[in-house]
Structure 1
Amino acid sequence: MERRHEGRVVLITGAAQGIGQAIAERFARDGANVIAGDLGPPTETARLVEAHGVRCVAATVDVRRQSSLDAVVAEALARFGRIDTVVANAGIIAAAPLWEMTDETFTSILDVNVAGSWRTLKAATPSLIERGSGSVIVIGSIQSRVARKRLAAYTTSKHALLGLVKAAALELADHNVRVNAVLPGVIATPMVANSTSGHATDEGFRRMAALRNRSALDPGVIGAAISWLASDDAAEITGVELPVDAGSLILPGVNEFPVVE
Protein backbone atom coordinates (compact mmCIF):
# COMPACT_ATOMS: atom_id res chain seq x y z
CA MET A 1 0.00 0.00 0.00
CA GLU A 2 1.23 3.50 -0.86
CA ARG A 3 2.43 5.46 2.17
CA ARG A 4 1.72 8.95 0.86
CA HIS A 5 3.11 10.71 3.96
CA GLU A 6 6.28 8.65 4.37
CA GLY A 7 8.75 10.50 6.57
CA ARG A 8 6.48 13.46 7.18
CA VAL A 9 5.27 14.83 10.51
CA VAL A 10 1.69 15.70 11.48
CA LEU A 11 0.56 17.60 14.57
CA ILE A 12 -3.00 16.81 15.72
CA THR A 13 -4.91 18.38 18.58
CA GLY A 14 -7.77 16.60 20.32
CA ALA A 15 -6.14 13.27 19.46
CA ALA A 16 -7.12 11.13 22.44
CA GLN A 17 -10.29 9.64 20.98
CA GLY A 18 -12.88 9.82 18.23
CA ILE A 19 -12.03 11.78 15.10
CA GLY A 20 -8.63 12.92 16.37
CA GLN A 21 -7.53 9.39 17.14
CA ALA A 22 -8.75 8.18 13.75
CA ILE A 23 -6.83 10.98 12.00
CA ALA A 24 -3.66 10.05 13.86
CA GLU A 25 -3.99 6.38 13.00
CA ARG A 26 -4.66 7.11 9.32
CA PHE A 27 -1.61 9.35 8.99
CA ALA A 28 0.45 6.63 10.66
CA ARG A 29 -0.84 4.06 8.16
CA ASP A 30 0.23 6.49 5.45
CA GLY A 31 3.76 6.74 6.86
CA ALA A 32 3.73 9.93 8.94
CA ASN A 33 5.21 10.43 12.37
CA VAL A 34 2.62 11.91 14.72
CA ILE A 35 2.51 14.49 17.48
CA ALA A 36 -0.77 13.65 19.22
CA GLY A 37 -1.97 16.26 21.69
CA ASP A 38 -4.85 16.35 24.15
CA LEU A 39 -5.64 17.48 27.68
CA GLY A 40 -4.04 14.29 28.94
CA PRO A 41 -1.30 12.43 27.04
CA PRO A 42 -3.18 10.27 24.47
CA THR A 43 -1.28 7.09 25.22
CA GLU A 44 -3.79 4.78 23.50
CA THR A 45 -3.51 6.84 20.35
CA ALA A 46 0.27 6.56 20.56
CA ARG A 47 -0.02 2.78 20.80
CA LEU A 48 -2.23 2.63 17.71
CA VAL A 49 0.09 4.94 15.79
CA GLU A 50 3.29 3.10 16.67
CA ALA A 51 1.75 -0.21 15.59
CA HIS A 52 2.20 1.11 12.03
CA GLY A 53 5.97 1.39 12.44
CA VAL A 54 6.20 5.16 12.86
CA ARG A 55 7.00 7.35 15.84
CA CYS A 56 4.46 9.13 18.02
CA VAL A 57 4.80 11.75 20.73
CA ALA A 58 1.81 11.74 23.10
CA ALA A 59 1.71 15.29 24.44
CA THR A 60 -0.38 17.17 26.97
CA VAL A 61 -1.93 20.09 25.08
CA ASP A 62 -4.52 22.61 26.22
CA VAL A 63 -5.68 24.71 23.25
CA ARG A 64 -6.98 27.34 25.67
CA ARG A 65 -3.36 28.24 26.48
CA GLN A 66 -0.99 29.62 23.86
CA SER A 67 2.03 28.56 25.92
CA SER A 68 0.83 24.94 25.81
CA LEU A 69 0.60 24.95 22.02
CA ASP A 70 3.91 26.77 21.65
CA ALA A 71 5.54 24.10 23.80
CA VAL A 72 4.22 21.16 21.78
CA VAL A 73 5.31 22.79 18.51
CA ALA A 74 8.78 23.30 19.99
CA GLU A 75 8.83 19.65 21.05
CA ALA A 76 7.79 18.51 17.58
CA LEU A 77 10.56 20.54 15.96
CA ALA A 78 13.11 19.29 18.49
CA ARG A 79 12.12 15.65 17.95
CA PHE A 80 11.60 15.63 14.19
CA GLY A 81 13.04 18.87 12.84
CA ARG A 82 9.89 19.68 10.88
CA ILE A 83 6.11 19.82 10.80
CA ASP A 84 4.37 19.12 7.50
CA THR A 85 0.70 19.03 8.44
CA VAL A 86 -1.28 20.64 11.25
CA VAL A 87 -4.76 19.38 12.11
CA ALA A 88 -6.73 21.65 14.44
CA ASN A 89 -9.25 19.14 15.72
CA ALA A 90 -9.79 19.90 19.42
CA GLY A 91 -13.38 20.81 20.13
CA ILE A 92 -16.20 20.64 22.65
CA ILE A 93 -19.99 20.67 22.46
CA ALA A 94 -22.91 21.32 24.81
CA ALA A 95 -26.65 21.21 24.25
CA ALA A 96 -29.26 23.60 25.67
CA PRO A 97 -31.73 26.17 24.41
CA LEU A 98 -29.78 29.34 23.71
CA TRP A 99 -31.76 31.30 26.34
CA GLU A 100 -30.83 28.74 29.00
CA MET A 101 -27.17 28.32 28.10
CA THR A 102 -24.83 29.94 30.58
CA ASP A 103 -22.31 32.59 29.65
CA GLU A 104 -19.55 30.24 30.83
CA THR A 105 -20.69 27.44 28.52
CA PHE A 106 -21.08 29.69 25.49
CA THR A 107 -17.71 31.39 25.90
CA SER A 108 -15.95 28.12 26.71
CA ILE A 109 -17.13 26.56 23.45
CA LEU A 110 -15.95 29.58 21.47
CA ASP A 111 -12.64 29.60 23.34
CA VAL A 112 -11.86 25.96 22.59
CA ASN A 113 -13.37 25.58 19.12
CA VAL A 114 -12.51 28.94 17.56
CA ALA A 115 -9.76 30.60 19.58
CA GLY A 116 -8.17 27.19 20.18
CA SER A 117 -7.90 26.60 16.44
CA TRP A 118 -6.47 30.10 15.96
CA ARG A 119 -3.92 29.49 18.73
CA THR A 120 -2.94 26.21 17.08
CA LEU A 121 -2.30 27.97 13.77
CA LYS A 122 -0.49 30.80 15.54
CA ALA A 123 1.88 28.32 17.17
CA ALA A 124 2.53 26.11 14.16
CA THR A 125 2.42 28.25 11.04
CA PRO A 126 5.73 30.11 11.59
CA SER A 127 7.61 26.83 11.09
CA LEU A 128 5.61 26.09 7.94
CA ILE A 129 6.33 29.59 6.62
CA GLU A 130 10.04 29.12 7.33
CA ARG A 131 10.06 25.86 5.35
CA GLY A 132 7.96 27.32 2.56
CA SER A 133 5.44 24.48 2.50
CA GLY A 134 2.81 22.73 4.53
CA SER A 135 -0.84 21.95 4.98
CA VAL A 136 -3.23 23.10 7.69
CA ILE A 137 -6.61 21.46 8.15
CA VAL A 138 -9.25 22.80 10.52
CA ILE A 139 -12.06 20.51 11.61
CA GLY A 140 -15.39 22.22 11.19
CA SER A 141 -18.74 20.43 11.00
CA ILE A 142 -21.76 20.22 8.79
CA GLN A 143 -22.96 22.75 11.35
CA SER A 144 -20.51 25.14 9.75
CA ARG A 145 -23.21 25.29 7.06
CA VAL A 146 -26.50 24.54 8.85
CA ALA A 147 -27.98 24.81 12.35
CA ARG A 148 -29.51 22.38 14.82
CA LYS A 149 -31.73 23.13 17.80
CA ARG A 150 -30.09 23.34 21.23
CA LEU A 151 -26.61 23.77 19.74
CA ALA A 152 -26.35 27.53 19.28
CA ALA A 153 -22.85 27.91 20.72
CA TYR A 154 -21.45 24.91 18.83
CA THR A 155 -23.06 26.04 15.58
CA THR A 156 -21.75 29.58 16.06
CA SER A 157 -18.24 28.28 16.67
CA LYS A 158 -18.24 26.02 13.63
CA HIS A 159 -19.54 28.78 11.36
CA ALA A 160 -16.76 31.05 12.65
CA LEU A 161 -14.08 28.50 11.77
CA LEU A 162 -14.84 28.91 8.08
CA GLY A 163 -13.91 32.59 8.33
CA LEU A 164 -10.65 31.63 10.02
CA VAL A 165 -9.86 29.12 7.27
CA LYS A 166 -10.52 31.62 4.48
CA ALA A 167 -8.42 34.30 6.13
CA ALA A 168 -5.56 31.90 6.86
CA ALA A 169 -5.62 30.47 3.33
CA LEU A 170 -5.33 33.99 1.94
CA GLU A 171 -2.54 35.06 4.27
CA LEU A 172 -0.48 31.88 3.88
CA ALA A 173 -0.83 31.40 0.12
CA ASP A 174 2.32 33.42 -0.59
CA HIS A 175 4.25 31.02 1.65
CA ASN A 176 3.06 27.87 -0.17
CA VAL A 177 1.05 26.79 2.86
CA ARG A 178 -2.43 25.46 2.17
CA VAL A 179 -5.33 25.85 4.61
CA ASN A 180 -8.59 23.92 4.29
CA ALA A 181 -11.56 22.85 6.39
CA VAL A 182 -13.13 19.41 6.64
CA LEU A 183 -16.77 19.33 7.70
CA PRO A 184 -17.69 16.00 9.29
CA GLY A 185 -21.26 14.86 9.43
CA VAL A 186 -22.48 12.83 12.40
CA ILE A 187 -19.62 10.58 13.45
CA ALA A 188 -19.84 7.73 15.97
CA THR A 189 -17.70 9.31 18.68
CA PRO A 190 -17.97 9.76 22.45
CA MET A 191 -18.55 13.51 21.99
CA VAL A 192 -21.65 12.90 19.88
CA ALA A 193 -22.90 10.23 22.27
CA ASN A 194 -22.49 12.59 25.21
CA SER A 195 -23.90 15.70 23.57
CA THR A 196 -27.45 14.97 24.70
CA SER A 197 -26.58 13.63 28.14
CA GLY A 198 -27.84 16.74 29.93
CA HIS A 199 -31.45 16.44 28.84
CA ALA A 200 -32.19 13.11 27.19
CA THR A 201 -34.75 10.72 28.64
CA ASP A 202 -34.20 6.97 28.63
CA GLU A 203 -36.35 6.82 25.50
CA GLY A 204 -34.29 9.64 24.06
CA PHE A 205 -31.11 7.68 24.60
CA ARG A 206 -32.62 4.67 22.84
CA ARG A 207 -33.60 6.87 19.91
CA MET A 208 -30.14 8.39 19.85
CA ALA A 209 -28.46 4.99 19.85
CA ALA A 210 -30.72 3.77 17.07
CA LEU A 211 -29.90 6.81 14.94
CA ARG A 212 -26.21 6.48 15.65
CA ASN A 213 -26.13 2.81 14.74
CA ARG A 214 -28.10 3.38 11.58
CA SER A 215 -26.60 6.53 10.21
CA ALA A 216 -23.48 7.75 12.01
CA LEU A 217 -20.24 7.49 10.08
CA ASP A 218 -17.08 5.77 11.23
CA PRO A 219 -14.32 8.22 12.32
CA GLY A 220 -12.00 6.52 9.84
CA VAL A 221 -13.72 8.22 6.91
CA ILE A 222 -12.62 11.58 8.28
CA GLY A 223 -9.05 10.37 8.70
CA ALA A 224 -9.01 9.16 5.10
CA ALA A 225 -10.33 12.47 3.75
CA ILE A 226 -7.84 14.52 5.76
CA SER A 227 -4.89 12.34 4.77
CA TRP A 228 -5.79 12.88 1.12
CA LEU A 229 -6.35 16.61 1.56
CA ALA A 230 -2.93 16.99 3.19
CA SER A 231 -1.20 14.94 0.47
CA ASP A 232 0.53 15.98 -2.73
CA ASP A 233 -2.54 14.73 -4.62
CA ALA A 234 -4.37 17.80 -3.28
CA ALA A 235 -1.46 20.21 -3.79
CA GLU A 236 -3.57 22.78 -5.65
CA ILE A 237 -6.44 22.86 -3.15
CA THR A 238 -6.64 25.62 -0.58
CA GLY A 239 -9.37 27.65 1.09
CA VAL A 240 -12.05 24.98 0.60
CA GLU A 241 -14.69 23.46 2.87
CA LEU A 242 -14.93 19.71 2.29
CA PRO A 243 -18.04 18.04 3.74
CA VAL A 244 -17.64 14.38 4.67
CA ASP A 245 -21.24 13.64 5.58
CA ALA A 246 -22.68 10.92 3.31
CA GLY A 247 -24.52 13.73 1.54
CA SER A 248 -26.55 14.89 4.54
CA LEU A 249 -26.34 18.55 3.51
CA ILE A 250 -28.39 17.76 0.39
CA LEU A 251 -30.10 14.46 1.24
CA PRO A 252 -32.86 14.83 3.88
CA GLY A 253 -32.85 12.13 6.53
CA VAL A 254 -29.27 10.97 5.85
CA ASN A 255 -26.69 11.03 8.66
CA GLU A 256 -28.95 13.08 10.95
CA PHE A 257 -27.69 14.58 14.17
CA PRO A 258 -29.32 12.65 17.04
CA VAL A 259 -30.36 15.54 19.25
CA VAL A 260 -33.31 14.73 21.48
CA GLU A 261 -35.95 17.45 21.63
Structure 2
Amino acid sequence: MGNLDGKVALITGGARGQGRSHAVTLAGAGADIVVCDIAEPIGSVPYALSSAADLAETVAQVEKVGRRCVAVPADVRVQAELDAVVGRAVAELGHVDILLANAGIASYGPIAEMSGAQWQDMIDVNLTGVFNSFRAVVPHMIERRSGRIVATSSIVARMGATNSGHYAAAKWGVLGLVKSLALEVKQFGITVNAVLPSGVNTPMLDNPAMYAVFRPDLENPTRDDVKEMFDDNSAIEGLLDPVEVSNAILFLVSDAGRHLSGEAITMSGGMSAGMT
Protein backbone atom coordinates (compact mmCIF):
# COMPACT_ATOMS: atom_id res chain seq x y z
CA MET A 1 0.00 0.00 0.00
CA GLY A 2 1.12 3.52 -0.73
CA ASN A 3 3.96 3.79 -3.22
CA LEU A 4 5.75 6.97 -2.14
CA ASP A 5 8.82 6.66 -4.37
CA GLY A 6 10.24 10.11 -5.06
CA LYS A 7 8.21 11.77 -2.29
CA VAL A 8 9.59 13.76 0.65
CA ALA A 9 7.73 13.76 3.97
CA LEU A 10 8.26 16.30 6.76
CA ILE A 11 7.24 15.06 10.21
CA THR A 12 7.09 17.24 13.31
CA GLY A 13 7.63 15.52 16.63
CA GLY A 14 9.57 12.84 14.77
CA ALA A 15 12.15 11.91 17.39
CA ARG A 16 10.18 9.05 18.94
CA GLY A 17 6.69 7.64 19.51
CA GLN A 18 4.15 8.13 16.74
CA GLY A 19 6.44 10.47 14.83
CA ARG A 20 9.23 7.92 14.56
CA SER A 21 6.76 5.22 13.56
CA HIS A 22 5.36 7.46 10.82
CA ALA A 23 8.88 8.22 9.57
CA VAL A 24 9.84 4.56 9.30
CA THR A 25 6.50 3.55 7.76
CA LEU A 26 6.59 6.22 5.07
CA ALA A 27 10.26 5.47 4.39
CA GLY A 28 9.33 1.83 3.94
CA ALA A 29 6.90 2.96 1.23
CA GLY A 30 9.70 4.83 -0.56
CA ALA A 31 9.68 8.37 0.86
CA ASP A 32 12.69 10.34 2.01
CA ILE A 33 12.12 11.90 5.41
CA VAL A 34 12.70 15.15 7.24
CA VAL A 35 12.03 15.07 10.98
CA CYS A 36 12.10 17.85 13.51
CA ASP A 37 11.61 17.81 17.27
CA ILE A 38 12.25 20.17 20.15
CA ALA A 39 14.59 17.64 21.81
CA GLU A 40 14.55 19.54 25.12
CA PRO A 41 12.22 19.97 28.13
CA ILE A 42 9.11 22.17 28.36
CA GLY A 43 8.46 23.40 31.87
CA SER A 44 4.84 22.34 32.35
CA VAL A 45 5.23 18.88 30.82
CA PRO A 46 5.49 16.30 33.63
CA TYR A 47 7.53 13.67 31.76
CA ALA A 48 10.81 13.61 29.85
CA LEU A 49 10.53 14.84 26.27
CA SER A 50 12.69 13.61 23.42
CA SER A 51 16.44 14.13 23.13
CA ALA A 52 19.02 14.63 20.40
CA ALA A 53 19.79 10.92 20.78
CA ASP A 54 16.14 10.11 20.00
CA LEU A 55 16.35 12.18 16.80
CA ALA A 56 19.52 10.32 15.83
CA GLU A 57 17.78 6.99 16.40
CA THR A 58 14.95 7.99 14.06
CA VAL A 59 17.53 8.82 11.40
CA ALA A 60 19.18 5.43 11.91
CA GLN A 61 15.89 3.55 11.60
CA VAL A 62 14.90 5.39 8.41
CA GLU A 63 18.32 4.81 6.87
CA LYS A 64 18.06 1.14 7.79
CA VAL A 65 15.18 0.79 5.31
CA GLY A 66 17.26 2.51 2.64
CA ARG A 67 15.89 6.06 2.61
CA ARG A 68 17.44 9.43 3.38
CA CYS A 69 16.58 11.21 6.61
CA VAL A 70 17.35 14.79 7.63
CA ALA A 71 16.85 15.58 11.33
CA VAL A 72 16.56 19.15 12.59
CA PRO A 73 16.04 20.32 16.19
CA ALA A 74 13.12 22.76 16.04
CA ASP A 75 10.36 24.10 18.28
CA VAL A 76 6.94 24.08 16.60
CA ARG A 77 5.95 27.07 18.74
CA VAL A 78 8.37 29.24 16.73
CA GLN A 79 7.38 29.99 13.14
CA ALA A 80 10.91 30.94 12.09
CA GLU A 81 12.25 27.56 13.20
CA LEU A 82 9.68 25.66 11.14
CA ASP A 83 10.32 27.90 8.17
CA ALA A 84 14.00 26.99 8.48
CA VAL A 85 13.14 23.28 8.58
CA VAL A 86 11.21 23.60 5.33
CA GLY A 87 14.06 25.60 3.80
CA ARG A 88 16.53 22.87 4.71
CA ALA A 89 14.22 20.17 3.38
CA VAL A 90 13.97 21.92 0.01
CA ALA A 91 17.71 22.64 -0.10
CA GLU A 92 18.74 19.06 0.70
CA LEU A 93 15.91 16.97 -0.77
CA GLY A 94 14.40 19.28 -3.38
CA HIS A 95 10.79 19.59 -2.24
CA VAL A 96 8.20 18.67 0.40
CA ASP A 97 5.28 16.52 -0.72
CA ILE A 98 3.87 15.42 2.63
CA LEU A 99 3.49 17.15 5.98
CA LEU A 100 2.61 15.25 9.14
CA ALA A 101 1.87 17.82 11.85
CA ASN A 102 2.39 15.35 14.66
CA ALA A 103 4.23 17.15 17.48
CA GLY A 104 2.31 17.19 20.74
CA ILE A 105 2.52 17.17 24.53
CA ALA A 106 0.31 16.09 27.41
CA SER A 107 -0.18 17.39 30.94
CA TYR A 108 -2.89 17.02 33.52
CA GLY A 109 -5.03 18.92 35.98
CA PRO A 110 -8.58 20.22 36.50
CA ILE A 111 -9.44 23.44 34.70
CA ALA A 112 -10.13 25.34 37.95
CA GLU A 113 -6.61 24.58 39.22
CA MET A 114 -4.63 24.73 35.98
CA SER A 115 -1.83 27.28 35.79
CA GLY A 116 -1.66 29.81 32.99
CA ALA A 117 1.67 28.34 31.88
CA GLN A 118 0.19 24.85 31.66
CA TRP A 119 -2.65 26.11 29.47
CA GLN A 120 -0.39 28.23 27.28
CA ASP A 121 2.22 25.52 26.68
CA MET A 122 -0.52 23.12 25.62
CA ILE A 123 -2.14 25.55 23.19
CA ASP A 124 1.22 26.74 21.86
CA VAL A 125 2.46 23.23 21.06
CA ASN A 126 -0.66 21.23 20.22
CA LEU A 127 -2.61 23.91 18.35
CA THR A 128 -0.37 26.82 17.37
CA GLY A 129 2.34 24.29 16.48
CA VAL A 130 -0.01 22.76 13.90
CA PHE A 131 -0.88 26.22 12.57
CA ASN A 132 2.82 27.11 12.28
CA SER A 133 3.53 23.82 10.50
CA PHE A 134 0.78 24.54 7.98
CA ARG A 135 2.05 28.05 7.35
CA ALA A 136 5.60 26.84 6.82
CA VAL A 137 4.71 24.21 4.21
CA VAL A 138 1.53 25.30 2.44
CA PRO A 139 3.05 28.10 0.28
CA HIS A 140 5.56 25.59 -1.09
CA MET A 141 2.80 23.07 -1.82
CA ILE A 142 0.63 25.72 -3.48
CA GLU A 143 3.53 26.65 -5.73
CA ARG A 144 3.94 22.99 -6.72
CA ARG A 145 0.16 22.46 -7.04
CA SER A 146 0.22 19.29 -4.96
CA GLY A 147 0.60 18.07 -1.40
CA ARG A 148 -0.69 15.81 1.35
CA ILE A 149 -1.14 17.08 4.89
CA VAL A 150 -2.19 15.06 7.93
CA ALA A 151 -2.46 16.50 11.44
CA THR A 152 -2.55 14.40 14.58
CA SER A 153 -5.65 15.27 16.59
CA SER A 154 -7.22 12.90 19.14
CA ILE A 155 -10.39 11.06 20.02
CA VAL A 156 -10.94 13.84 22.56
CA ALA A 157 -11.68 16.15 19.61
CA ARG A 158 -15.08 14.44 19.81
CA MET A 159 -15.60 14.83 23.57
CA GLY A 160 -14.42 16.45 26.77
CA ALA A 161 -11.54 15.14 28.85
CA THR A 162 -11.47 15.17 32.65
CA ASN A 163 -8.22 16.71 33.94
CA SER A 164 -7.15 17.44 30.36
CA GLY A 165 -9.47 20.24 29.26
CA HIS A 166 -6.58 22.17 27.70
CA TYR A 167 -5.60 19.09 25.68
CA ALA A 168 -9.18 18.60 24.50
CA ALA A 169 -9.48 22.26 23.55
CA ALA A 170 -6.28 22.11 21.49
CA LYS A 171 -7.30 18.91 19.70
CA TRP A 172 -10.77 20.28 18.88
CA GLY A 173 -8.95 23.29 17.46
CA VAL A 174 -6.74 21.09 15.29
CA LEU A 175 -9.84 19.59 13.72
CA GLY A 176 -11.19 23.05 12.90
CA LEU A 177 -7.86 24.07 11.35
CA VAL A 178 -7.75 20.92 9.22
CA LYS A 179 -11.24 21.38 7.84
CA SER A 180 -10.65 25.08 7.17
CA LEU A 181 -7.34 24.55 5.38
CA ALA A 182 -8.86 21.73 3.31
CA LEU A 183 -11.36 24.25 1.93
CA GLU A 184 -8.69 26.83 1.21
CA VAL A 185 -6.25 24.62 -0.72
CA LYS A 186 -8.42 22.11 -2.56
CA GLN A 187 -8.01 23.97 -5.87
CA PHE A 188 -4.25 23.47 -5.64
CA GLY A 189 -4.36 19.67 -5.50
CA ILE A 190 -3.60 19.59 -1.77
CA THR A 191 -5.46 17.30 0.63
CA VAL A 192 -5.69 17.99 4.37
CA ASN A 193 -6.92 15.42 6.88
CA ALA A 194 -6.71 14.55 10.56
CA VAL A 195 -6.23 11.30 12.44
CA LEU A 196 -8.00 11.01 15.79
CA PRO A 197 -6.47 8.12 17.74
CA SER A 198 -7.43 7.07 21.23
CA GLY A 199 -4.58 6.00 23.53
CA VAL A 200 -1.36 5.11 21.70
CA ASN A 201 1.41 3.11 23.34
CA THR A 202 4.14 5.77 23.37
CA PRO A 203 6.23 7.63 25.99
CA MET A 204 3.48 10.28 26.19
CA LEU A 205 1.37 7.68 28.01
CA ASP A 206 4.03 5.34 29.39
CA ASN A 207 5.42 7.58 32.15
CA PRO A 208 4.90 8.10 35.90
CA ALA A 209 2.69 11.17 35.49
CA MET A 210 0.23 9.18 33.39
CA TYR A 211 0.37 6.19 35.74
CA ALA A 212 -1.02 8.51 38.41
CA VAL A 213 -3.87 9.54 36.08
CA PHE A 214 -4.72 5.89 35.43
CA ARG A 215 -4.45 4.89 39.11
CA PRO A 216 -5.55 7.85 41.25
CA ASP A 217 -6.28 5.37 44.04
CA LEU A 218 -2.53 4.83 44.57
CA GLU A 219 -0.15 7.37 46.05
CA ASN A 220 2.83 6.61 43.78
CA PRO A 221 1.77 4.09 41.14
CA THR A 222 4.46 2.33 39.13
CA ARG A 223 4.39 0.78 35.69
CA ASP A 224 3.61 -2.57 37.30
CA ASP A 225 0.33 -1.06 38.53
CA VAL A 226 -0.73 -0.32 34.94
CA LYS A 227 1.12 -3.17 33.25
CA GLU A 228 -1.97 -4.69 31.65
CA MET A 229 -2.73 -1.45 29.83
CA PHE A 230 0.68 -1.27 28.15
CA ASP A 231 1.59 -4.92 27.72
CA ASP A 232 -1.70 -6.42 26.52
CA ASN A 233 -2.94 -4.86 23.28
CA SER A 234 -4.91 -7.91 22.18
CA ALA A 235 -8.35 -6.42 22.85
CA ILE A 236 -9.88 -4.05 20.33
CA GLU A 237 -10.29 -1.41 23.03
CA GLY A 238 -6.63 -1.63 24.11
CA LEU A 239 -3.93 0.91 23.38
CA LEU A 240 -3.07 1.40 19.73
CA ASP A 241 0.36 0.45 18.48
CA PRO A 242 1.92 3.50 16.78
CA VAL A 243 2.24 1.62 13.50
CA GLU A 244 -1.55 1.27 13.35
CA VAL A 245 -1.81 5.05 13.20
CA SER A 246 1.08 5.15 10.72
CA ASN A 247 -0.72 2.77 8.38
CA ALA A 248 -3.83 4.96 8.38
CA ILE A 249 -1.65 7.98 7.58
CA LEU A 250 0.09 6.06 4.79
CA PHE A 251 -3.29 5.51 3.17
CA LEU A 252 -4.18 9.21 3.44
CA VAL A 253 -0.93 10.44 1.89
CA SER A 254 -0.81 7.86 -0.91
CA ASP A 255 -2.67 7.90 -4.22
CA ALA A 256 -5.26 5.60 -2.66
CA GLY A 257 -6.37 8.45 -0.41
CA ARG A 258 -6.36 11.22 -3.02
CA HIS A 259 -10.13 11.78 -2.81
CA LEU A 260 -10.14 12.24 0.96
CA SER A 261 -9.78 15.78 2.28
CA GLY A 262 -11.24 17.54 5.28
CA GLU A 263 -11.75 14.15 6.89
CA ALA A 264 -11.27 13.13 10.51
CA ILE A 265 -10.24 9.48 10.69
CA THR A 266 -11.13 8.20 14.15
CA MET A 267 -9.19 5.24 15.57
CA SER A 268 -10.75 4.57 18.93
CA GLY A 269 -11.18 0.85 19.52
CA GLY A 270 -14.94 1.27 19.36
CA MET A 271 -15.18 4.37 21.58
CA SER A 272 -16.64 6.37 18.69
CA ALA A 273 -19.56 3.95 18.43
CA GLY A 274 -21.20 5.86 21.26
CA MET A 275 -20.73 9.29 19.66
CA THR A 276 -22.66 11.17 17.00
Give TM-score scaled by structure 1 length. Answer: 0.91
Q: Equivalences for 1:145-224 in 2 at 5 Å?
A: 145-194=158-207, 195-196=209-210, 201-203=219-221, 206-214=224-232, 215-224=238-247
Structure 1 unmatched ranges of 5 or more: 253-261
Q: Describe the superposition over 1:174-216 as per-residue Cα deviations: whole angstroms up to 9, x where unpaired.
A: 1111000001111110001235266653347544332233321
State the alpha-carbon separation in 1 of the partners of residues 8 and 265 from structure 2: 22
Cα separation, 2, equivalents of 1:74 and 1:223:
25
Secondary structure at the aligned position of 2:193 is classed as strand
Q: Which amino acid aligns with 2:174?
A: L
Once residues 96 and 8 of structure 1 are traced to their aligned partners in structure 2, the CA distance between those partners, rounded to angstroms, is 41
Partner of 2:113: 100
Q: What residue in structure 1 maps to residue 235 of structure 2?
A: none
Partner of 1:237: 260
Aligned length, in residue pairs:
251
Counterpart in the other structure of 2:42: none
1:113 aligns with 2:126: yes
DSSP 3-state at the match of 2:10: strand
Please give the alpha-carbon distance, in whole angstroms, between the structure 2 residues aligned to 1:3 and 1:233. 7
Aligned-partner SS, 2:113: coil
- Which residue number in structure 2 is paired with residue 255 of structure 1? none
1:190 and 1:251 map into 2 onto residues whose CA distance is 28
Q: What letter corresponds to residue 79 of structure 1 in structure 2?
A: E
Would you say the 8 A contact 2:211–2:226 is kept in 1? no
Question: Is 1:4 aligned to 2:3, yes or no?
Answer: yes
What is the alpha-carbon distance in structure 1 between the residues aligned to residue 206 and residue 251 of structure 2? 27
**1:97 to partner: Cα distance:** 1.1
Residue equivalent to 2:15? 16
Equivalent runs, 1:115-134 vs 2, <5 Å: 115-134=128-147
2: CA distance between counterparts of 1:33 and 1:240? 25
> Following the alignment from structure 1 to structure 2, what is the Cα–Cα distance between the partners of residues 203 and 105?
23
Conservation of the 8 A alpha-carbon contact between 1:95 and 1:198: no
SS at match of 1:147: coil
Residue 37 of structure 2 corresponds to: 38
Hey, what does 1:71 align to over in structure 2? 84
Equivalent residue, structure 2, for 1:259: none
**TM-score, structure 2 as length reference:** 0.86
Looking at structure 1, the residues matched to 111 and 96 of structure 2 have their Cα atoms a distance apart, in angstroms, of 39
In structure 1, what is the Cα distance between the partners aligned to 2:161 and 2:222? Answer: 16
- State the SS of the aligned residue for 2:96: coil
Q: For structure 1, which segment, 18-27 or 145-154, has the greater mean C-alpha deviation from structure 2 after superposition?
A: 145-154
Q: What stretches of structure 2 of length at least 5 have no aligned partner?
A: 40-51, 233-237
Does the 8 Å CA contact 2:182/2:193 hold for their aligned counterparts? yes
